[in-house]
A and B are shown apart, each in its own frame.
Chain A
């Protein structure tokens, strides 16, 4: 009887060790790949008619010229959208979003930010996100939804004119789309830096544990 209990506990602890389930890992890296294609081709498109007084260096854009950038952008969008949609459905259906990202309290965010800045934030249990992570991960999902919706508004400002109107029309959607990109790039910089600082979190996103 006791042997059975032990093996059960053993099984449970082995199971608990899986920090990132396979579907999360697959979609994370698919998304990362699609995002990089979208951002680099997006910079190419931006350069054709810059919103601000700068352009992106040609060497970090994709497609060679505007038409190539557009072809990449409107191809990679399918990968991004299909992957993103399945991710959102899975996140809700499996309860992952609720369990991992909620609740987010201002007190929690403030105290965890302080702890992070003073080097006291614990990374012992990677299966539980701290409040700063919860806020950033939930936030970037919202930004991800916004960038796709503003992108659709730019692509179809007539067929989807009510969606475009939500962003202040075609020109408004251009700015929303740009600032969402900026937010994602900023997130990626912080996200990659922190993953490298806590390498076992990177390992968990590759092999699951």
Chain B
């Protein structure tokens, strides 16, 4: 059991992981897949509320997705860096992408905006943009990969999130850093702590050497090149260090929560 405990990963609920592992045993899985196959027609209507069948393919898929969170957390190597590219490889124009049009993108006033820091941190002070700009910054040219499949190379500059977490005295044994954003309908997303502490995970203030434009998340986005695009929140208002899984805008709609690259 001591060995087992070592194999388990921070950021993953141990009871859930074990329950998921048991659920993913071959026999049961196969039986469920077969029952799933029996009504493939009905399953193509799987839009979230259309399935009235009692066996619930949706429940099975959710469980496998949680199992996949655990597998991905195990596969995550904190020392594996996302490939970097020369500036000449940057995609121009870099696409604007959201669930709303550009003219609906949040217009945040940089003068009054403050980054709220909550949860398991020693210093809960809020940070103005000028204060954040004083922190040492690093540039990265990496590939942004969207859950939809397309990708684009961009240049992001900002403060490594792990440096900031250290600065505010965050409990880095906590499971998640949870971000809340200014997007309409309220965007939020949880980031598992190992990914938050990855050297390339960044509080981004600049795109292409210029102050982050509104299209890409002014005043601050979180750039996580080891995650799919939707795990890179823009227009960030607050971050909370927490052990609770608080869900996310897309995660709640069915995208795999870990979604690591």
Q: Are B261 and A75 in contact (CB under 8 A)?
A: no
Task: List residues of B (8-39) whose CB comes within 8 Å of A's CBs.
Answer: 24, 26, 29-30, 33-34, 37
B133 contacts the other chain (CB 8 A): no
**Binding site of B, secondary structure by majority: helix, strand, loop or mixed?**
loop
Task: List residues of A (109-162) whose CB comes within 8 Å of B's CBs.
Answer: 156-159, 161
B107 CB to nearest chain A CB (Å): 28
Q: Are B47 and A64 in contact (CB under 8 A)?
A: yes
A70 contacts the other chain (CB 8 A): yes
Q: Are A158 and B261 in contact (CB under 8 A)?
A: yes
Measured between beta carbons, the chain B residues less than 8 angstroms from A82 are 26
Q: Are A74 and B256 in contact (CB under 8 A)?
A: yes
Bound-state Cα–Cα, A190 to B57, Å = 31
A48 contacts the other chain (CB 8 A): yes
Q: Contacts A68-B46, A156-B261 given: A74-B65 contact, CB under 8 Å?
A: yes
B64 contacts the other chain (CB 8 A): yes
Measured between beta carbons, the chain B residues less than 8 angstroms from A158 are 80-83, 225-226, 260-261
- How many residues of chain A get a CB closer than 8 Å to chain B's CBs? 35
CB nearest to A61 among chain B residues:
B44
Bound-state Cα–Cα, A75 to B151, Å = 23
- Of the candidates B33, B44, B64, the one whose C-beta lies within 8 Å of that of A62 is B44
Q: Contacts A64-B46, A76-B33, A161-B83 given: A71-B149 contact, CB under 8 Å?
A: no
Bound-state Cα–Cα, A78 to B80, Å = 24
Which stretch from A11-19, A87-95, A169-177, A191-199 is at the chain B interface?
Answer: A169-177
Q: Are A59 and B44 in contact (CB under 8 A)?
A: yes
A34 CB to nearest chain B CB (Å): 8
Task: List residues of A (64-82) whose CB comes within 8 Å of B's CBs.
Answer: 64-68, 70-72, 74-76, 78-79, 82
Q: Contacts A49-B148, A70-B256, A159-B261 given: A78-B29 contact, CB under 8 Å?
A: yes
Task: List residues of B (205-261) whose CB comes within 8 Å of A's CBs.
Answer: 225-226, 250, 253-256, 260-261
A159 CB to nearest chain B CB (Å): 5
Q: Are A159 and B44 in contact (CB under 8 A)?
A: no
A84 contacts the other chain (CB 8 A): no
Q: Are B149 and A45 in contact (CB under 8 A)?
A: yes
Q: Are B82 and A71 in contact (CB under 8 A)?
A: no
Q: Are B33 and A159 in contact (CB under 8 A)?
A: no
Q: Are B261 and A66 in contact (CB under 8 A)?
A: no
Q: Are A71 and B29 in contact (CB under 8 A)?
A: no
Q: Contacts A46-B149, A66-B147, A75-B61 given: A159-B30 contact, CB under 8 Å?
A: no
Measured between beta carbons, the chain A residues less than 8 angstroms from B60 are 75
CB nearest to B63 among chain A residues:
A75
Bound-state Cα–Cα, A103 to B19, Å = 47
Bound-state Cα–Cα, A33 to B38, Å = 11
Measured between beta carbons, the chain A residues less than 8 angstroms from B145 are 157, 170
Q: Are B64 and A71 in contact (CB under 8 A)?
A: yes
What 0/1 readout, one digit per residue, does chain A (25-50) give for beta carbons within 8 Å of chain B?
00000100110010000000110110
Q: Are B149 and A75 in contact (CB under 8 A)?
A: no
Which 3 A/B pairs are nearest by Cβ-Cβ distance? A67-B254, A49-B149, A75-B64
Having A72-B43, A170-B151, one finds 17 other A-B pairs with CB under 8 Å, namely A37-B33, A61-B44, A62-B43, A64-B46, A67-B253, A70-B147, A70-B255, A70-B256, A74-B256, A78-B24, A156-B260, A156-B261, A157-B83, A158-B80, A158-B81, A159-B76, A159-B77
The contact sample of 14 A-B pairs, CB cut-off 8 A, is A33-B33, A45-B149, A49-B148, A59-B44, A64-B46, A68-B47, A70-B147, A74-B65, A78-B24, A78-B64, A159-B75, A170-B143, A170-B145, A170-B151
